[in-house]
Amino acid sequence: MESSEKKAAKPKRVVVEEIIASDEEKETIKTEVPVKPPIPEPARPRSSNLYLWVLIPGTLLLILLVGGIIVYQVGLNKVKTKSLPTPQAAFIPQNSTVPTPSQTPTAKIDLKKYSITILNGSGKIGEAGKAQDLLEAAGFKVSKVGNAKTYDYTKTVIQAKEGVDQGFINQLKTTLSKSYSVEDKSLILSASSKDEVVVTVGAG
């Protein structure tokens, strides 16, 4: 009994074996360490989509603009080339005369209706006689020739009574203007004057 108890009381030995790894095994151990996977970078927005959004509307606007210009030019050319209807000439049968507009006959002026008195107001000798020859050659009637009160007339002056026709005065002025410088306006003779028309010849 005692021997069995002694056997039972003997302490037990624990054997610990030390495992020494070789260099190759160490390297394999190092490489077998799990590596954390890399964190993926956030996806960047693609710039091609932005270009498409800008390019497509811009292209449409350009097409519309070019089309509008072409339509405007075509319409403008049509307006320019549109010819007006040419007026058709009226048909005139042969052997027919076209009526000409009737000309109103001008009233004939009687140049001998009034007697003319010619006065020399220039101081030049024989000037009144020259004016007489000019008027009589044109058809006027000269009743008397003389000298004016003064010789300081630079232009030829026509005087007539109120009853004298204006057409007669105008024709007299036209005839005298061929050789003399005549005043534009004619003067009125007094009603008590014996003369109907008086022409005072000036130096001009």
3-state secondary structure string across 31-80: HCCCCCCCCCCCCCCCHHHHHHHHHHHHHHHHHHHHHHHHHHHHHHHHHH
* pLDDT at 115 > cutoff 80: yes
Q: pTM for the complete prediction?
A: 0.48
Of 122, 140, 125, the residue nearest 180 (C-alpha): 122
Instruction: Report the pLDDT value the prediction gives residue 133, as an integer from 0 to 100.
Output: 95
Range 10-36 average pLDDT: 51
Q: In whole angstroms, give the CA distance from residue 38 to residue 22.
A: 32
Mean pLDDT, the chain, whole residue set: 76
Instruction: Report the pLDDT value the prediction gives residue 61, as an integer from 0 to 100.
Output: 84
pLDDT band at 140 (very low <50, low <70, confident <90, very high): very high
Three-class SS state of 136:
helix
Of 203, 164, 200, 170, the residue nearest 185 (C-alpha): 170
∠ Cα 158 160 166 (to 5°): 90
Range 94-108 average pLDDT: 56
Distances (CA, A) of 198 to 23, 25, 79, 120, 178: 160, 159, 69, 11, 18
Instruction: Report the pLDDT value the prediction gives residue 169, as an integer from 0 to 100.
Output: 94
Domains and CATH numbers, the chain: 115-201 (3.30.70.2390)
Of 86, 159, 79, 82, the residue nearest 119 (C-alpha): 159
More confident residue, 46 or 139: 139
Three-class SS state of 188:
strand
pLDDT band at 177 (very low <50, low <70, confident <90, very high): very high
Say if strands 197-201 and 141-147 run parallel, antiparallel, or are unpaired.
Answer: unpaired
pLDDT band at 59 (very low <50, low <70, confident <90, very high): confident
